[in-house]
Amino acid sequence: MVDASGTVTALDGDFALVQMDEGGCGRCHEPGGCGGGPNIGRMFCSAPRNFRALNPQRLSVGARVRVTIADGAVRRSALVAYAIPLLLFLAGAIGGAFLAGELASFAGAAFGLLAGWLLLRRNQRRGVLDAGMQPVIEPLSAGR
């Protein structure tokens, strides 16, 4: 599980809006962490980071929480968001060049990007309905 801490700032039905304490994954200073998340986060994003997460325990506004995301959810999202559109772009460009030359290569690349975007939108809509892809909050224990 990937987790980070934050504070509930608002409620929205079965969800809570959570303001995160730090940028990045929260593992910046642990062994194997990048070491730069909070610094990079401050440099590029001065506004507080807010996320919408499932609130199964009906925690109230002001509650200190841990936001968790299932293992594999981030990897799957990154794969769908970056790798698949890039592969479709390249496949379209190579296929177009193979079939009809340079101009068709440009058209194939554009078609590949469009197909990647449509696939990304479809998976985004499915991810909203998939509870395994949603961040979930739980009360932050006193020892953490």
Residues 26-40 have pLDDT tens digits of 555 555 555 555 555
Give the torsion sign (CA, 63, 65, 70, 76): positive
Calculate the CA dihedral of residues 112, 114, 118, 124 and round it to 10 degrees. Answer: 90
E runs forming strands in the chain: 2-12, 15-20, 50-54, 64-69, 136-139
pLDDT (mean) for 84-113: 93
Largest Cα span, the chain: 65
Give yes or no for residue 43 having a pLDDT over 60: no
Residue 64 sits in the same domain as residue 80? no
pLDDT of 122: 86
Residue-range definition of the domain harbouring residue 22: 2-70+133-139
Alpha-carbon separation of residue 64 from 46, 84, 92, 138, 142 (angstroms): 21, 37, 48, 9, 10
Whether residue 144 has pLDDT greater than 70: no
Asked if 96 and 65 sit in the same domain, the reply is no
22 pLDDT higher than 70: no
Give the pLDDT band of residue 95 (cuts 50, 70, 90).
Answer: very high
**CATH number of the domain bearing residue 11:** 2.40.50
- Residue 75 confidence class, pLDDT cut points 50, 70, 90: confident
Q: How many domains does the chain have?
A: 2
Q: Is 116 part of a structural domain of the chain?
A: yes
- Residue 48 has, within 13 A of its CA and on its CB side, a CA count of 11
Answer yes or no: do 29 and 43 share one domain. yes
Closest CA to 6 of 73, 74, 63, 71: 63
Same domain, 47 and 87: no
Is residue 130 predicted with pLDDT exceeding 80? no
Q: pLDDT band at 77, cuts 50/70/90?
A: confident
Rounded Cα distance between 134 and 27, Å, is 20
